[in-house]
Structure 1
Amino acid sequence: MTETTSLRLGDWGVIRAQGADAASFLHSQLTQDFALLGRDHARLAGFCTAKGRLLATMVGWRQGEDEILLALPAETLAATLKRLSMFVLRAKCKLSDASAEFAVYGLLGAPDAQAWSLVRDGDVVQIALPAAAGSGRALRVQPVATPAPAGATTSAEDWAWAEARAGMAWVRGATVEAFVPQMINFEVLGGVSFKKGCYPGQEIVARSQYRGTLKRRLQVFETEGEAIVGQEVFSSTDPDQPAGVVAGRGTRDGRTAIAAEIKLAALEAGSLHLGSAGGATLQPRALPYDIPPQE
């Protein structure tokens, strides 16, 4: 039986949305359905510009009556909170930064569970995350006064490695407005509802889905080189312009796992390299999920 290890994700924060209109307000602004959000599951969601570009990605769940919490990378929190607050207007919803009240942990070796399912223990929630086969992951959010999860700790690099190998990437400061949701496989991972009403960028996101115009996708690679989020990737067949960008990365045992958004055409011939056409070679790895063909 695999031991569950944990890591305090100090680079994550929490936004609180509270009030009678909290769910309907978030439903109108984010890529997922919050009107039908129950207490036994969470929502992966994105916040887009009017042009469909992701400003932030997050996980949301019901914490209490008329209260929804959103966990997201701290480097995008302040701008997200400010921009969301601009649209509250007359809605009965108060948005605030609740990061000082909650501790966010990543769990590796968590029991297998359907992604975004949620287990509660009082005010503590544990949310199953997408994972590569045999490497269960979860997000645990708890009041800061609650003791840390029992058991051994894991390293930040092991956590980042597992996330990249899971084919998942969060919008970070370096990648704000870099992606339409489908470019990082966000809809495949459960981050977009195509049945809900309008939200900023909805027309662009829907057009990418149904008109077969998507030319870029997130792919998983390994390399011996170092990588940073936001770093460009180049193809040997077209060395003068970038073929993609690193969206997530983690290093383990001298190898770097990379989740990179890549031009689909660049996967058909030649090789991919980090930073320049002469940089470290990226070796493709299988995604742990299927990408549906474009119609």
Structure 2
Amino acid sequence: MSDTNRGLIELRGEDSLKFLQGQVSCDLHQLSDDNFIRGCHCTPKGRVIFLFSAGLKDSDCIVLETHPSIVDTAIASLKKYAVFSKTKITDISDQKLSIEPELSDLDRLRAGIADITSGTTDQFIPQMLNLDLLNFISFKKGCYTGQEVVARAHYLGAVKRRMYLLNLSTNCVPEIGQALFNIEGKQLGTIVNAQANKQGQIEALAVLATSSSDIKRIVIDQTEISVERLDLPYELG
């Protein structure tokens, strides 16, 4: 295990797996000592609170790796449901371990994998972040918090917003959660993550209305800029 700048949450106790299985989108029964699994924890309305990679630390201990800014929010949300479970939920971000192979923020962005932070929590259903295309969701595992909303969007095809990879013609990295508008002033979407590349260009993941995904110019922070849609390493369908 290697050092990481990610946040780490430990769930320890005999009920940890059973408890977490009822709270997250992935099927934790697929976990083993030599593999990890990605998932999300949602509100009852199906909005993503945080994303994570889960791994087994030992037989009664699961560790969730997530964005450091969301650790406190994640723990508080999980603890609301853990009152009657034999599990202890702890911030162990000071420990030197990682659940999955480390990616730079830019590589993660280019892989089309969102990071939910304190600036974007409780805003998107999983499909808006393409989590259904990235194996963050099991549609066979049964009930979990927010499952009805997530399943309805999946089976009815009611996803009108998706996450896209964009190249923005600006020198300023936009803030996470910043709104994007068209030149008429209508909001088109939201910045999920953004990074400057070695060429000084800004690459971003943004949730946009699918009807606006091919727009060429946007307004961000009252400045009009050109935008290019880049290919993701998976099909949006």
Residue in structure 1 matched with residue 202 of structure 2 by the alignment: 256
| Mapped partners of 1:267, 1:66: distance in 2 | 44
Instruction: Say if 2:135 is the partner of 1:190.
Output: yes
1:150-208 CA-to-partner distances (Å, cap 9, x unmatched) read xxxxxxxxx22222211111111111111100101011111111111211111000111
- CA root-mean-square deviation: 1.9
* Paired position in structure 1 for 2:218: 273
Unaligned stretches of 5+ residues in structure 2: none
1:46 — aligned with what? 40
1:276: Cα distance to partner? 5.6
1:233 and 2:227 aligned: no
Indicate yes or no: 2:7 matched with 1:13.
yes
Q: Secondary structure at the match of 1:204?
A: helix
Deviation at 1:82, TM superposition (A): 1.4
Percent identity over paired residues: 26
Find the aligned partners of 2:142 and 2:110 in 1 and give their Cα distance. 33
Q: Contact 2:38–2:54 (CA<8 Å) still a contact in 1?
A: yes
Partner of 2:91 in structure 1? Answer: 97
- Structure 2 distance, partners of 1:187, 1:99, is 28
Distance 1:278 1:287 in 2: 26
Give the ranges of 4+ consecutive aligned residues of structure 1 lying more than 6 Å apart after TM superposition.
none
- Check conservation: 1:161, 1:256, Cα contact below 8 A: no
- The question of 1:139 aligning with 2:133 is answered no
Q: Following the alignment from structure 1 to structure 2, what is the Cα–Cα distance between the partners of residues 57 and 251?
A: 23
Take 1:261 and 1:101, find their aligned partners in 2: how far apart are those partners? 33
CA contact (8 A) 2:164 2:213 kept: no
Distance 2:223 2:75 in 1: 40
Deviation at 1:22, TM superposition (A): 1.0
Amino acid at match of 1:262: L
Distance verdict in 2 for CA 1:221–1:177, change over 3 Å: same
Tell me if 1:29 matches 2:23: yes
SS of equivalent to 1:233 = strand
Equivalent residues in 2 for 1:149-168, closer than 5 Å: 159-168=104-113
The answer as to whether partners of 2:169 and 2:201 remain within 8 angstroms in 1 is yes
Distance in 2 (alpha carbons) for counterparts of 1:277 and 1:97 = 39
Which amino acid in structure 1 is aligned with residue 59 of structure 2? E
**Does the 8 Å CA contact 2:182/2:219 hold for their aligned counterparts?**
no
Q: C-alpha displacement at 1:89, in angstroms?
A: 2.5
Question: Whole-Å Cα distance in 2 between the matches of residues 39 and 167 of structure 1?
Answer: 26
C-alpha distance in 1 between matches for 2:97 and 2:226: 38
Of 152, 155, 161, 1:216 maps to: 161
TM (norm. structure 2) is 0.91
Match of 1:170 among 115, 133, 137: 115
Instruction: Provide Cα deviations, 1:116-175, integer angstroms capped at 9, x if missing partner.
Output: xxxxxxxxx5x2xxxxxxxxxx229xxxxxxxxxxxxxxxxxx22222211111111111
Cα distance in 2 for residues equivalent to 1:9 and 1:256 = 24
Rounded to whole Å, the distance in 1 between the matches of 2:141 and 2:85 is 19
More strand by share: 1
Q: Secondary structure at the match of 2:94?
A: helix
Aligned residues: 233
| Deviation at residue 66 of structure 1 after TM alignment | 0.9
After superposition, the Cα gap between the structure-2 partners of 1:97 and 1:48, relative to the gap in structure 1 and judged at 3 Å, is same
How much does 1:39 deviate? 2.0
